[in-house]
Amino acid sequence: RLGSHLFIPAFVTQMKTPYRTKMKCRTGARVAKFFNGSLYRGTVQSFMGPSASGKDDELWRIAYDDGDEEEMDQNELETSMKLFEENGENTIASSDRSKFQSTRANKAKSLMDGMVLSNNLGQSTSDKPVIMPWLGYGTYRLGQKQAYKATLEALQVGYRCIDTAFIYGGETTEIEVGKAIRRAIETKVLSHRDDVFIITKHWRKYHGYEPTKECLEKSLARLQTDCVDLWLMHWPGPAYNTMSRRKDILEQEGPWYYSNVSEKDMKTLRGETWRAMEDALKEGKVRSIGVSNFSIAHLETLKK
């Protein structure tokens, strides 16, 4: 009985010593972690002890600079400490577009708070981060009569992301959006074109390499800008040779009956469209590119 009393304290002391050493070395250390394409920095707050999983692991509490907290195991902690060493304290938003701030969605406090579009989404090779606001103003179905006034009012109340498309309003909405942004600059609502994040979309009538470049040039002219912040391929499918598509004929002849290109050729044509979009990114005419209304099958085909 006496032997066991002497043995257990000695065992506990031996086990706790490494933990005390690690606590002293790592509490207060700076860490970094990517979340939704943005880099968040924090501090090791405290050592929480062995993992409940029963594995030879330890848990640490991390307090991030934006107020969030989480637990990290040993491997995650070491990776996060290394990531901080590689990136330091420089903030992602330190650029000419510094009014746009990279935040988590649940921490956004401003209409200029947003997420960083990563290289995997087609970010430009520029050293300036492409930050897309979490909230934006959409112009679908506004039409020519409403688009100018509504977009200008949206900018006046604080929206800094405007979403439009080549085809909206029968190809009139981009023109009205461009006028509204120009007016907002003239009246000092915006200090510069860079104060607003513009999204527009390629139209499927212009699938193919050269037609895609033509589509972009028309959009840029309508929007009165030399660059858009995000350019999307609006639809993966083709244009149709009529607007009066009959459901009974489609059921009888198939969904490609009214198409101006075959299903097989469309895959190649879509790839050419994307290649033109990549080239526009390299040329600086768009800051980021992406797709819209794509299924997983469309994405897999485009990857090939």
Pairwise CA distance, residues 5 & 212, whole Å: 81
Q: Nearest 5°: phi and psi at 56? A: -75, 75
Cα→Cα distances 1→7, 14, 268, Å: 10, 21, 82
Q: Do residues 69 and 40 make contact, with C-beta atoms less than 8 angstroms apart?
A: no
Q: Nearest 5°: phi and psi at 101? A: -115, 135
Residues 168, 206, 209, 240: which is the catalytic one? 168
Pairwise CA distance, residues 176 & 165, whole Å: 12
Strand 69-73 relative to strand 113-116, pairing: unpaired
Q: What's the token pair of residue 43?
A: 């501090």
159 in active site: no
Cα→Cα distances 2→5, 13, 200, Å: 5, 18, 80
Helix 263-282 vs helix 296-303: angle between axes, to the nearest 10 degrees? 70
Residues designated catalytic: 168
